[in-house]
Amino acid sequence: MENKVNIYVVVPAYNEENTISDVITNLKNNNYKNIIVIDDGSTDSTYKIAKENKTIVIKHPINLGAGAAVKTGTDYALSIGADIIIIFDADGQHMAKDINNLIKPIINKEVDVTLGSRFLDKKSNVPLLKKIILKGGVVLVFLMYGILLTDAHNGLKALSRKAAERIIINARGWEYCSEIIEEIKIKKIKYKEIPVTIKYSSYSIKKGQKIYNSLNIFLKMIKKWLIE
Amino acid sequence: MIKPIQVIAIVFGIFALLKVILKMKNRKLLLNEFIFWSSIWAALIILSIFPQISEKIANFFGFTRGIDFFIVSSILLMFYLIFRIFIKLEELENKITKLSRSIAIKEIANNINKT
């Protein structure tokens, strides 16, 4: 039965020439062949490298942000008949072997969305400062949407076709993570958190979300709340 | 007696009003924008020449001095305009995002058709 399910992995990438090749190889080695890389207007050779690795590469003409890239990827995956869409960061912090655990509850029709969480088991070695910021995000998401997660800003997620069609991402930047949670809450989509491991290399820490970014996400959430 | 500040305000108002009229002549402004901006600058000129009017309006709204009324209403107007720009910018960014996305998806569809 599993063979009939069309699984597409959406990889939003912005200037990730150092890691994109490893990320794609890692996914392919774990038998995820349908990879859609969204090059979000990179100025380095991300596009070229992704193309060389024989994946579908969609290039934004200009840099739009992670949220916009994810939406482009999911829209395209839906248009070519994906049953399950995985969102997988391009900076090499996720493990392709975790995907299997993410898709199982969706294939078994238990839930429509699975969210990766680095805090459900002890395998990820989360730096203290990062942990404080992430837990702050958890509290914020709980206060704003009333959903208590263990890890609200994890890039690794899986959506069923039904969920991907219903969840509408308007956020352009990293705040799309919170937006997905908001959509899950509003549209009463069934979800589950799945333990995943985050690899903290010095590279991914440097590239990953900084304190400034977290503040920015917070401000954008407030802005969205004000406008609507 | 005319105070220096009145002269400055009048000169500034005339200059701004001329600019608005010029822009309208070159069709760089929409009619409603033209009416909005020209009435603002015209009001500035008139109130600078006849400060008694602003005093009367101010007294009506409960301000003792005309200038207080002037400053408070200017700040309110500015906040409103900033808010409008803020919304407009958001709309623009959304449009750019949609445009870029459709360009990107069109391109990939073309590439697939070629191969």
Q: Which two tokens stand for residue A2?
A: 């599993």
Considering only CB atoms, B97 lies closest to which of A38, A58, A68, namely: A68
Spell out where A80-136 has E strands. Answer: 84-87, 113-117
Spell out where A15-64 has E strands. Answer: 35-39, 56-59
First to last CA, chain A: 43
User: For residue A147, what pLDDT is reported?
Assistant: 85
Spell out where A105-207 has E strands. Answer: 113-117, 157-160, 191-195
- Tokens 């590439």 belong to which residue? B111
- For strand A157-160 and strand A84-87, is the pairing parallel, antiparallel, or unpaired? antiparallel
| Inter-chain residue contact B104 with A60, CB threshold 8 Å | yes
B110 in contact with A, Cβ within 8 Å: no
User: For residue A93, what pLDDT is reported?
Assistant: 86
Residues linked to residue A114 through DSSP beta bridges, in sequence order: A158, A192
CA distance B29 to B19: 11
Instruction: Work out the percent of chain B whose per-residue pLDDT is above 70.
Output: 97
| Inter-chain residue contact A72 with B101, CB threshold 8 Å | yes
| Inter-chain residue contact A60 with B90, CB threshold 8 Å | no
Count CB-CB contacts under 10 A for residue A189.
Answer: 18
Chain B residues with CB-CB distance to A64 below 8 A: 96-97, 100-101
- Mean of the pLDDT values across residues B61-82? 88
CATH top-level class for A2-227?
A: alpha beta
User: For residue B115, what pLDDT is reported?
Assistant: 62
Which of A79, A158, A68 lies closest to B108 in space, CA to CA?
A79
User: For residue B83, what pLDDT is reported?
Assistant: 93
B104 in contact with A, Cβ within 8 Å: yes
| Inter-chain residue contact B108 with A56, CB threshold 8 Å | yes
Closest-CA distance, B108 to chain A, in angstroms, reads 6
User: For residue B75, what pLDDT is reported?
Assistant: 94
User: For residue A130, what pLDDT is reported?
Assistant: 80
Chain A residues with CB-CB distance to B101 below 8 A: 60, 64, 68, 71-72, 75
| Inter-chain residue contact A62 with B87, CB threshold 8 Å | no
Closest-CA distance, B37 to chain A, in angstroms, reads 26
Is the ipTM above a cut-off of 0.85?
no
- In this prediction, the residues of chain A whose per-residue pLDDT falls under 50 are 1-2
CA distance B104 to B108: 6
CA distance A39 to A52: 13
CA distance B56 to B45: 16
The 10 Å CB-count burial string (b at 16+, else e) for A201-219 is eeebeebbbeeeebeebbe
The pTM of the full predicted model, rounded to 2 decimals, is 0.77
CA distance A192 to B9: 64
Considering only CB atoms, B108 lies closest to which of A58, A64, A68, namely: A58
Q: Where are the domains of chain A?
A: 2-227
Q: At what angle do helices B31-49 and B51-61 cross, to 10 degrees?
A: 100
Structural contact between residues A184 and B109, judged by C-beta atoms closer than 8 angstroms? no
Q: What band does B106 get if pLDDT is binned at 50, 70 and 90?
A: confident
| Inter-chain residue contact B100 with A57, CB threshold 8 Å | no
Closest-CA distance, A187 to chain B, in angstroms, reads 23
Closest-CA distance, B75 to chain A, in angstroms, reads 20
Chain A residues with a Cβ under 8 Å from any Cβ in chain B: 38, 41, 56-62, 64, 68, 71-72, 75-76, 79, 170, 172, 227
Helix (H, G, I), strand (E, B) or coil at A169: coil
Helices (H), B26-65: 31-49, 51-61
State the DSSP code for A152.
S
| Inter-chain residue contact A75 with B101, CB threshold 8 Å | yes
Ramachandran class of A41: left when φ > 0, alpha when ψ lies in -120 to 50, beta otherwise: left
Which of A6, A3, A29 lies closest to A164 in space, CA to CA?
A6
Considering only CB atoms, B97 lies closest to which of A64, A76, A227, namely: A64
